[in-house]
Amino acid sequence: MTLLNDPRTRRRRMGVVAACTGLLAALLTAVPAAATPDPGDAPAAEQGISRSAQAEAAEAIASGEIPGQDEIVHSDNIEHLVNIPKDALPGTNSDLAFQGKYAFAGNYDGFRIFDISKPKAPKTVAQVLCPGSQNDISVSGDLLFLSTDSSRSDSSCNSTTQPATEKSSWEGMKVFDISDKRNPKYVAAVETACGSHTHTLVPERKNVYVYVSSYSPSATYPDCQPPHDGISVIKVPRKAPERAAVVSFPVLFPGEGPDGGGNPGSPTNPGVSKTTGCHDITVLPDKDLAAGACMGDGILFSIKDPENPKVIDQVQDNVNFAFWHSATFNQKADKVVFTDELGGGGAATCNAEIGPDRGADGIYDIVGKGDKRKLVFRSYFKIPRHQADTENCVAHNGSLIPVKGKDLMVQAWYQGGVSVWDFTNSSKPKEIAYFERGPISTTTLVGGGAWSAYYYNGYIYSNDIAKGFDVLKLSDRRTDPAKRIRLDELNVQTQPDYFD
């Protein structure tokens, strides 16, 4: 392998020269994009950068320190099989889900279904136009779930944007019947407080529970009032999805006063997001356990009673974590990887100026038993390749690569690309493979890159915000045993027991 010898994998010096003053000031205060009426996790608006930063990017490309504009580079143990560009849905690509031979790709304009029975040649089965950021997506049996976290004129797929200050505005969860993959049918809509930024399925035989994560309330929003310190729980009967309804709103951060009991954020904790809900939740149904990434807090909670989850432990990192974004358990459920989405996904944070501990993953061991379990911090992980100041880059969505006795993960880093890394030793994580493209622009900060990168039945699938759907093949003795694991369905935030 040339992974460690490739000059592009060494610590790049990009970002030492300051970009535009306003951008760096925003990064240093680490305030993420607001969730309502237009949520975070959105591509960066185009922003000019200083001439010195432009010159530095050009010099780094010329020297081979970073790949050229749109140039694809990768470690020797990864092969790029195919890219499927965006088609009828030109919006931002978002999350992914899988079922059998199908991949389901979210997009701010709707969703796309691919037949991936031949990973080298995916075929589009259907494209559904149904605008509403960010269209976070999951599937269970014949049902597909789609999150809407932008204020709409109504719940239909023909709705238009409308201010969150208007009582008639709608945000929440949409449900589709996908028994016919070529002709999905919209069957239900459930409005939820503050919309649905992301969601997580807790499936049962007769019903599917949906944990709805949303945040950033305002006294001016009739349907999103503070304190918003919990999650909406929706119950969806499989045989009658039209009866889907909110059955509870468990408060995860109880406390006195209008702001509840989560992280108060700035100015008490400068540069840290105030907790007003959760961004994303990952569940282990087989172990009745869940981990929540909730803006200024990370939590561990029991879901033995799915309608009334109970918090076991709550942690904060007021030094290096700006925005707790997502969570991933290891297979033994004795570790959790939390991600910090510094800059809300729209900033250049993979540079020397920001450093290795911010906009990174935080690895926590779970110690103790039962309701006395605690989250104990061990280390940070960040990709070891600095990016240009024109590239939005930060820790984002990833999944386990199922190898018994090892803790391996593939993860998206926006324009930082796709990283495969090993956290078997919680205190010494290391990257073992990567795939990335060069900057979309060398003169302007433009949003793009891998939103999600997940391992499913022997391949890595990535949904690139701007470039489309990528399929990668990973060939490495450390990860090859995972090829024997076959799943009928995968929603990464509903983690399976791979070795059951």
> If you search the block for the tokens 């709707």, which residue do you land on?
110
Asked whether residue 327 carries a pLDDT value surpassing 60, the answer given is yes
Asked whether residue 342 carries a pLDDT value surpassing 50, the answer given is yes
In a domain, 496, yes or no: no
The whole-angstrom separation of Cα 66 and Cα 387 is: 7
Q: Which pLDDT score, from 0 to 100, does residue 53 have?
A: 76
Residue range 83-115, pLDDT digits in tens: 999 999 999 999 999 999 999 999 999 999 999
In a domain, 387, yes or no: yes
CATH of the domain at 473: 2.130.10.10
Q: What mean pLDDT comes out for the span 434-443?
A: 96
pLDDT cut 90: percent of the chain above it: 85
Query: What pTM was computed for the model?
Result: 0.92
Total domains, the chain: 1
Cα-based distances in Å from 407 to 123, 456, 497: 32, 16, 14
Q: Report the candidate in 210, 187, 224, 207 with the shortest Cα–Cα distance to residue 138.
A: 210
The whole-angstrom separation of Cα 279 and Cα 266 is: 18
Q: Which pLDDT score, from 0 to 100, does residue 64 have?
A: 81
The whole-angstrom separation of Cα 44 and Cα 350 is: 15
Which tops the pLDDT comparison, 235 or 258? 235
In a domain, 409, yes or no: yes
Q: Which pLDDT score, from 0 to 100, does residue 50 have?
A: 78
Ranges 2-16, 33-47, 300-314, 315-329: which has the least confidence = 2-16
Name the pLDDT band for 41 (thresholds 50, 70, 90).
low
In a domain, 134, yes or no: yes
Domain range for 185: 7-490
The whole-angstrom separation of Cα 340 and Cα 322 is: 6
Token pair for 247: 């059955």
In a domain, 48, yes or no: yes
